Amino acid sequence: MKKTFIILLLALPMLSFAGGWPKKKGTGYFKLSQYFIISDRYFSPAGDLLDIATASIYQTSFYGEYGITDRLTGIAYVPFFSRATLNEQVSGFSGDVLAEGDEVNSFGDTDLTLKYGLIINKPIVVSASLTFGLPLGNSAGGNTGVLQTGDGEFNTMVTLEASRGLRKGRAWISALLAYNNRSDSFSDELRYGLEVGHKLGQKWIANFKLLSVNSLNNGSDFETPSNGIFSNNIEYIATTYELAYSWNEKYGVSAAIGTALDGRRVLASPSFSSGVYMNL
């Protein structure tokens, strides 16, 4: 059976939205994270679960938000080290090597965002964002040239987010709607998401995020090469469960697990991430 390797990067800023609140001028949030996923199953283009050669990806990244004004926030997601691997395939009968393992280490695709507060200082706040996806990753890595830490295409995404605080600020709910324009004959995407969070005592914060990505199938119908990481016409419904612990008002740590409930051309295994963050 032909083996196919396609990675879905769950638990990244594409799933972690910051809500409708812009940062106050001169304040910020900065996070250093480690992410990984290892899987031997994935959702086929038809949505069926298939066995694949075991593959993994590891990303070390920086994420930051900074208030330029009370309404305008600058946001950056920079995966400064990305590693993708494909395990060696060995026959269960003869022990012969059927396919050599492969790996690639490089910089990853980077997102730069400007967020503007349309409605602030109200019970329901609303913001609009413009994100530029920079193709700084490797789109043809490894000895085989099929491992990737980026898809090689530039994309522009417009996002609308609305949020409301609950229980005197101890809880919140946010929703987003986004349109992602992808270049180089990749199909555009429509995204929508939901986040619910709650403070647990003085130190702990728990939140749940859901994101649905839907291809508009308005580009080419090409399939990425076998062992490609980023695919055209990806679709999925993904959830992330995150728990954070604040040492004090400035520093804290977090851990998260992400899963794809359903999908097309994405891995069917959970992803894991952890990080250290600082509030400015």
- 133, amino acid identity: G
| CA gyration radius, the chain | 19
Lowest mean pLDDT among 179-193, 194-208, 230-244: 230-244
Q: Is 152 exposed, middle or buried (0-12, 13-18, 19+ CB in 10 A)?
A: middle
Whole-model pTM: value is 0.89
What CA dihedral angle connects 60, 12, 111 and 207, to 10 degrees?
-120
Closest Cα partner for 163 from 123, 200, 190?
123
Domain boundaries, the chain: 28-279
- 124, amino acid identity: I
pLDDT over threshold 80, residue 36: yes
How much is the average pLDDT of 6-19? 49
Other beta carbons within 10 angstroms of residue 7's beta carbon come to 24
Question: Domain 28-279, CATH 2.40.160.40 — does that match?
Answer: yes
Q: What is the pLDDT of residues 148-174, one digit of tens each?
A: 788 888 999 999 999 999 998 899 999
Strand-pairing partners, residue 267, are: 42
How much is the average pLDDT of 177-194? 95
- C-alpha dist (Å) from residue 42 to 59, 98, 158, 260, 265: 20, 20, 29, 10, 7
d(C-alpha 104, C-alpha 57), whole Å: 10
The mean pLDDT of the chain is 87
Residues in the chain: 280
Q: What is the pLDDT of residues 207-217, one digit of tens each?
A: 999 999 999 99
8 or 184: which carries more pLDDT confidence? Answer: 184
pLDDT over threshold 60, residue 69: yes
Q: What is the pLDDT of residues 221-278, one digit of tens each?
A: 766 544 445 778 889 999 999 999 999 999 999 999 999 888 888 888 899 999 999 9
Confidence of residue 4 (pLDDT cuts 50, 70, 90): very low
Give SS3 for 168: helix
The answer to whether the beta carbons of residues 268 and 39 sit under 8 Å apart is: yes
pLDDT over threshold 90, residue 24: yes
Share of the chain above pLDDT 90, in %: 60
Confidence of residue 176 (pLDDT cuts 50, 70, 90): very high
Helix/strand/coil (H, E, C) string of 47-91? CCEEEEEEEEEEEEEEEEEEECCCCEEEEEEEEEEEEEEECCEEC
d(C-alpha 31, C-alpha 61), whole Å: 8
The answer to whether the beta carbons of residues 24 and 67 sit under 8 Å apart is: yes
How is residue 133 annotated by DSSP?
E
pLDDT for 223:
64
**Both structure tokens of 80:** 């400064």
